[in-house]
């Protein structure tokens, strides 16, 4: 094995750790949000403001990351973004007033956005250096990290959230600092790997199409996170069975991403996304139209499996146009993730929840139709 091959493998492992850590942090924060609300005596409306501040910070961080994520800066953005995210998580655990929480949440979201763009841009460049798809496995690391973070939060339910946030933040900082020498020599960050056009040869229309498809996919993820358990519970399932619906969705997502690189290598990204979207649309539509708990659980699991390859493929396509395109697609996609659950709730209030849940199924069908156009000429 040549020295360059060893360097690429080490870079891939390092990026896997960054994605894994990001998943852990976001899951720990999400799972213990009720404890944050209780400690600061927040109303539901006040908590919504804190979450909105985190979302606003993330959008700002994504945009800043898109402007700053040049090859010579990627290592610094990875290190700085990860340390800032860990520090913000630790500070969030100590906040006991709405004002302090708003400030810390804004910083937390901004760090998340910067790290998201830096990690995905570095992943795209490392993938180009590899010459074979690796993006799906990196996003699988995020999914696995989120599952681990959720399990950690559940296992430490009797521990103060401030202690958990501080411990997770400290472990992340130690890990990032220990990896600084490796991060500074990360493969795929050298200017020679830039396209000769510097990432500016894309059309605005193509980037916005990628962003719209990312929003459609992540709207489905938001629907699974906020409405899957409600849907299954409405079918007279017990609390534990209903709660397992999102775990099944997440498991399907993780399995799909662990196998996604091999499928993309063999069949190409457009085919993988198109077939997966058809599978997702069919499974979710069946799961919500058939009045059965087993059908609903299988529907949510297969929905996650079918959508698993979409975001990695869209980020890869955006990355070939430069970090600015990665930021645009990420911002648009996250808007779908944030707005989706509220939109489904509004539809459910004027129709029924099963009818409203046909929206992510229809969007998955639209993904299948538009996948080839959006991802044509996409290669690692």
Mean pLDDT of the 177-190 span: 79
Residue corresponding to tokens 């800043």: 64
Could you tell me what percent of the chain has a pLDDT over 70? Answer: 93
Cα 360 from Cα 366, distance rounded (Å): 10
* Nearest CA among 310, 297, 199, 203 for reference residue 264: 310
What's residue 241's pLDDT? 86
pLDDT per position as a tens digit, 318-371: 887 888 888 889 889 888 888 888 899 899 989 999 999 999 999 999 999 999
Out of 108-122, 164-178, 189-203, least confident range? 189-203
What's residue 322's pLDDT? 80
Would you say residue 54 has pLDDT above 70? yes
* Nearest CA among 190, 180, 207 for reference residue 70: 190
Cα 97 from Cα 39, distance rounded (Å): 9
Residue 108 vs residues 72, 74, 77, 103, 135: alpha-carbon distances, Å: 24, 19, 15, 9, 25
Query: How crowded is residue 19: how many other Cβ atoms within 10 Å of its Cβ?
Result: 23
pLDDT per position as a tens digit, 223-249: 888 788 889 988 988 877 887 888 888
What's residue 77's pLDDT? 93
Higher pLDDT, 27 or 115: 115
Would you say residue 204 has pLDDT above 80? no
What's residue 112's pLDDT? 93
What's residue 103's pLDDT? 97
Would you say residue 2 has pLDDT above 70? no
Cα 191 from Cα 305, distance rounded (Å): 36
Check residue 158 and report its DSSP letter. Answer: T
Mean pLDDT of the 215-224 span: 91
Confidence bin at 197 (pLDDT 50/70/90): very low
Higher pLDDT, 217 or 225: 217
What's residue 210's pLDDT? 93
């Amino acid at each position: 094995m040549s020295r360059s091959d060893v360097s690429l493998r080490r870079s891939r492992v390092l990026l896997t750790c960054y994605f894994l850590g990001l998943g852990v942090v976001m899951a720990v924060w999400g799972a213990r949000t009720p404890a944050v609300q209780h400690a600061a005596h927040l109303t539901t409306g006040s908590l919504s403001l804190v979450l909105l501040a985190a979302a606003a910070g993330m959008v700002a961080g994504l945009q800043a990351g898109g402007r700053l994520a040049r090859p010579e800066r990627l290592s610094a953005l990875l290190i700085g973004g990860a340390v800032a995210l860990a520090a913000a998580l630790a500070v969030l655990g100590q906040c006991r007033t709405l004002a302090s929480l708003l400030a810390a949440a804004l910083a937390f979201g901004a760090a998340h956005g910067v790290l998201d763009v830096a990690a995905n841009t570095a992943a795209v460049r490392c993938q180009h250096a590899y010459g074979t798809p690796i993006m799906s496995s990196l996003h699988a690391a995020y999914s696995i990290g989120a599952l681990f973070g959720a399990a950690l939060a559940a296992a430490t339910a009797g521990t103060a959230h401030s202690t958990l946030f501080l411990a997770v933040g400290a472990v992340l900082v130690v890990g990032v600092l220990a990896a600084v020498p490796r991060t500074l020599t990360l493969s795929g960050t050298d200017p020679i790997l830039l396209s000769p056009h510097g990432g500016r040869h894309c059309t605005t229309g193509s980037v916005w199409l990628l962003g719209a498809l990312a929003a459609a996919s992540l709207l489905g993820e938001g629907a699974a996170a906020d409405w899957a358990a409600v849907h299954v519970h409405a079918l007279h399932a017990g609390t534990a069975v209903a709660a397992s619906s999102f775990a099944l969705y997440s498991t399907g997502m993780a399995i799909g991403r662990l196998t996604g690189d091999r499928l993309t290598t063999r069949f190409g990204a457009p085919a993988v996304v198109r077939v997966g979207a058809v599978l997702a649309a069919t499974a979710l539509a069946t799961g919500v139209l058939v009045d059965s708990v087993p059908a609903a659980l299988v529907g949510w699991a297969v929905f996650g499996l079918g959508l698993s390859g979409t975001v990695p493929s869209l980020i890869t396509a955006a990355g070939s146009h430069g970090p600015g395109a990665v930021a645009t697609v990420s911002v648009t996609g996250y808007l779908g993730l944030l707005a989706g659950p509220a939109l489904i709730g509004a539809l459910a209030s004027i129709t029924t929840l099963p009818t409203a849940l046909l929206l992510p199924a229809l969007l998955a069908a639209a993904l299948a139709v538009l996948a080839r156009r959006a991802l044509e000429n996409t290669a690692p």
